[in-house]
Amino acid sequence: MSLIVVGTMAFDAIETPFGKSDKIIGGSATYVAYAASNFIKPVQQVSIVGYDFPEAEMNELKERGVEVEGVEIVPDKPSFFWAGKYHMDMNTRDTLVTDLNVLADFNPVIPESYQGAEFLMLGNLMPKLQKAVIEQLRERPKLIVLDTMNFWMETALDDLKEVLTMTDVLLVNDGEARELSHEFSLVKAAKKILTMGPKYLIIKKGEHGALLFHGDEVFFAPALPLEDVFDPTGAGDTFAGGFIGHLAKTRDISYENMKTAIIVGSAMASFCVEKFGTQRIKEITKSDIDRRLQQFQELVSFDIELV
Which residues of the shown chain bind its own copies in the complex (CB under 8 A)? Answer: 88-89, 184-188, 205, 208-209, 211, 217-222, 225-229, 246, 250, 252, 256-257, 259-260, 262-264, 290, 293-294, 296-304, 306-307
Closer to its own copies by CB, 142 or 188: give it. 188
Phi-psi region of 234 (alpha: psi -120 to 50; beta: other; left: phi over 0): left
- Residue 259 beta carbon to its own copies: minimum distance, rounded to whole angstroms: 4
Residues 6+ apart with CB under 8 A from 299: 222, 224, 225
Residues 6+ apart with CB under 8 A from 275: 230, 231
Closer to its own copies by CB, 56 or 88: give it. 88
Phi, psi of 21 (to 5 degrees): -95, 160
- Residue 270 beta carbon to its own copies: minimum distance, rounded to whole angstroms: 12
Please state, in angstroms and rounded to a whole number, the distance separating the CA atoms of residues 54 and 50.
9
Closer to its own copies by CB, 246 or 280: give it. 246
Closer to its own copies by CB, 105 or 252: give it. 252
Closer to its own copies by CB, 139 or 305: give it. 305
Total number of residues shown for the chain: 307
Closer to its own copies by CB, 63 or 305: give it. 305
Counting beta carbons within 10 angstroms of the beta carbon of residue 125, is it exposed (0 to 12), middle (13 to 18) or buried (19 or more)? buried
- Residue 66 beta carbon to its own copies: minimum distance, rounded to whole angstroms: 21
- Residue 208 beta carbon to its own copies: minimum distance, rounded to whole angstroms: 4
- Residue 221 beta carbon to its own copies: minimum distance, rounded to whole angstroms: 8
CA angle centred on 87, ends 83 and 92, rounded to 5° = 80
Closer to its own copies by CB, 77 or 205: give it. 205
- Residue 144 beta carbon to its own copies: minimum distance, rounded to whole angstroms: 22
- Residue 225 beta carbon to its own copies: minimum distance, rounded to whole angstroms: 5
Question: Longest C-alpha distance within the chain, in Å?
Answer: 68
Name the residue among 258, 257, 261 with its Cα closest to residue 241: 261
Name the residue among 254, 265, 262 with its Cα closest to residue 289: 265
Please state, in angstroms and rounded to a whole number, the distance separating the CA atoms of residues 166 and 191.
18
Helices 157-164, 127-136: crossing angle, 10 deg rounding:
30
Q: Which residues of 216-243 are buried (b: 16+ CB within 10 A; e: fewer)?
A: eeebebbbbeeeebbbbbbbbbbbbbbb
- Residue 261 beta carbon to its own copies: minimum distance, rounded to whole angstroms: 9
Closer to its own copies by CB, 144 or 263: give it. 263
